[in-house]
A and B are shown apart, each in its own frame.
Chain A
Amino acid sequence: MDMIDVEIMLAKVLLIVLMVLQAAPIMAWVERRGAALIQNRLGPNRVGPLGLFQSIADAIKAMFKEDLVPAHVSRFYYLLAPIACLIPAFMTFAVIPMAAPITIEGRSIHFQVADLNVGILYVFAVASLGVFGIIMAGWSSNNKFSLLGSLRSCSQMISYELSLGLSVVALIMVYASVHLGEIVQGQAETLLQLGPIAIPKLGIFVQPLGFLLFLTAVHAETNRLPFDLPEGETEIVAGYHTEYGPMGFSLFMMAEYGNMLTASGLLATLYFGGWQMLPGFAYVHGALGLSGNAHILAGVGLQFLSLLLKVIFFMLLFVWTRWTLPRFRYDQVMDLGWKVMFPLSLVNIFITGALIYLGWI
């Protein structure tokens, strides 16, 4: 490992951190404007062009408001909880490949912070830690509503992690790898040739049921509507962040948006070909008429753009869902998780196994 490697590594870490950090303010804006669009309103449009700087104004407000710590909380864990929530959100994004690995001047560069051969397992391992922050928040707040919120959140996350994991198991079976880079590579293969149009072996085509299960489960994992019971305002005030002041609340929000970003990244990577170029991009890439390193770098740029567009699509889907559906009740969430999604994901594994055995996939 020489200096340039270290520099590349640091650059990648910085990029990821900045991306996840930026996700919160940008998504806050998208969410508000999206909500306004759906609800025949204008939304925030006064601060900066199209209200884009509203998030900055909010951040300034959050920083300068007095951040008081209630007297009845257990101080250390109360302050630790938002951070414990935020860190996993940052860590998970590290393994999502942004573009195909390239080799420039004999140096191969992987466009992900950590190219682990257990990729997807790492994601689940780290994502399952996010729940500690919520437990800590609920417990240390010493408030019944907070405790209820964190209990709900824990059981919800544990229950849905199961179907989340199982729906991915089927996907792993199809691509015969847990390595995210290989899964993305695998999706470039042709599934069907319909005349001139080649349908690629995307996750969504080989695992439609798995995709639906995964999509539902990540909604539950990120505590978004219709699964936002842990913070279901009308029932348990604000759930686990009832007792938090401006900064604590902002950190929880950042963690939520960070998780959303990771979830969208995973959805794009696992089921929509990750950095595989969108239709037409390959043509653009060729038409640019570049050669050598410039050609390679343009490819990286287009691949990154493709991934970004897919991620944005899923982020918008999260927003759209949130402003359309009502909220489940706690026991209904559990029923759905254990009685519907869990058996379905097992069935999905069996079907996938049978199809692989028959050689259809």
Chain B
Amino acid sequence: MDISPVFFYLFAGLAIAFSVLVVLKKSPVASAFCLVVVFFMFAGIYALLDAHLIAAVQVLVYAGAIMVLFVFVIMLLNADSPSFDLGRSHLGLRVGAVAACVVLLGLFVYAFRASPLQVPPGALTAAQIDAAGGNTRVISRLMFSEYILPFELTSVLLLAGIVGAVAIAKRKLGAPEGTA
């Protein structure tokens, strides 16, 4: 008995449901918590695909680190006050939003229809991956050999972000008394 389709539909369904909740929830903190659940469901789907490493990293990085910071900032900024409340929503805005959604959906459907829905086979088959010592090892090897340049470039990008954040925070600290 193969039970993985059951789990797939469970995870996928919950992921969609919570994604909708992320948008619908009024409180930003609640939205953020819903997003955490969505990431979890993604991790579950990855795990079903035997991509344990990606699943673990998904939880570790997205749910464990990035979302923690998100929630942190939202909490600190006390965004519970409805800062997104634009008053009574404009009728034109509503129509526009619905229209945009429909157009987007159409685009998606067209794109998937038009392109051959064939996932190009990976360089390695599952059996080869197992023979090479598992997911983690294969990915690590690829990352540090073939894809070393993009990998390092990404870290430079992150470093730039960190430097920028420090620069902004420093100016805040260095500001004269009373202006901060």
The interface of chain A, by Cβ under 8 A from chain B, is 1, 77, 116-118, 121-122, 124-126, 128-129, 131-132, 135-136, 138-139, 147, 151, 154, 158, 161, 178-179
Contact = CB atoms under 8 A, between A and B. Distances in A.
B21 interface: no
A187 B76 CA distance: 46
18 contacts: A77-B30, A77-B33, A117-B52, A117-B134, A117-B135, A118-B135, A125-B43, A125-B60, A125-B63, A128-B68, A132-B36, A135-B72, A136-B33, A158-B68, A161-B64, A161-B65, A178-B136, A179-B134
Contact of A151 (B55, B57, B72): B72
Contact of A129 (B64, B71, B72): B64
Interface string B157-170: 00000000000000
Contacts of B65: 128, 158, 161
A77 B27 CA distance: 12
Given A118-B53, A121-B57, A125-B60, A132 B68 contact: yes
Given A117-B135, A135-B68, A178-B136, A129 B56 contact: no
Interface in B50-88: 52-53, 55-57, 59-60, 63-65, 67-69, 71-72, 75-76
Contacts of B33: 77, 132, 136
B103 to A, nearest CB: 36
Contact of B71 (A1, A118, A135, A147): A135
Contacts of B52: 116-118, 122
Contacts of B67: 132
B115 to A, nearest CB: 32
Nearest to A128: B64
B75 A147 contact: yes
A132 B36 CA distance: 9
Nearest to B30: A77
Interface of B: 1, 29-30, 33, 36, 43, 52-53, 55-57, 59-60, 63-65, 67-69, 71-72, 75-76, 134-136
A131 to B, nearest CB: 6
Contacts of A126: 59
A122 B64 CA distance: 12
A341 B167 CA distance: 24
Given A118-B135, A135-B75, 16 more contacts: A1-B1, A118-B53, A118-B136, A121-B53, A121-B56, A125-B43, A125-B57, A128-B63, A128-B68, A129-B59, A132-B67, A135-B68, A138-B75, A139-B75, A151-B76, A179-B134
A135 B136 CA distance: 31
A125 B64 CA distance: 7
Most B CB atoms within 10 A — which of A151, A178, A179? Answer: A178
B73 to A, nearest CB: 11
Please give me the 8 A-B residue pairs with the lowest Cβ-Cβ distance, nearest first: A128-B64, A125-B59, A121-B56, A125-B60, A117-B134, A118-B52, A125-B56, A118-B56
Most A CB atoms within 10 A — which of B29, B53, B63, B64? Answer: B64
Contacts of A118: 52-53, 55-56, 135-136
A153 B135 CA distance: 33
A131 B33 CA distance: 12
Contacts of A178: 136
Contacts of A135: 68, 71-72, 75
A163 to B, nearest CB: 14
B75 A124 contact: no
A256 B65 CA distance: 20
Contacts of A179: 134
Most B CB atoms within 10 A — which of A139, A147, A179? Answer: A139
A220 to B, nearest CB: 15
A118 B53 CA distance: 6
A157 to B, nearest CB: 8
Contact of A117 (B64, B76, B136): B136
A116 B50 CA distance: 10
B134 A131 contact: no
Nearest to A121: B56
A136 to B, nearest CB: 7
Contacts of B43: 125
A121 B136 contact: yes
Contacts of A1: 1
A136 B68 CA distance: 11
Nearest to A126: B59
Nearest to B54: A118
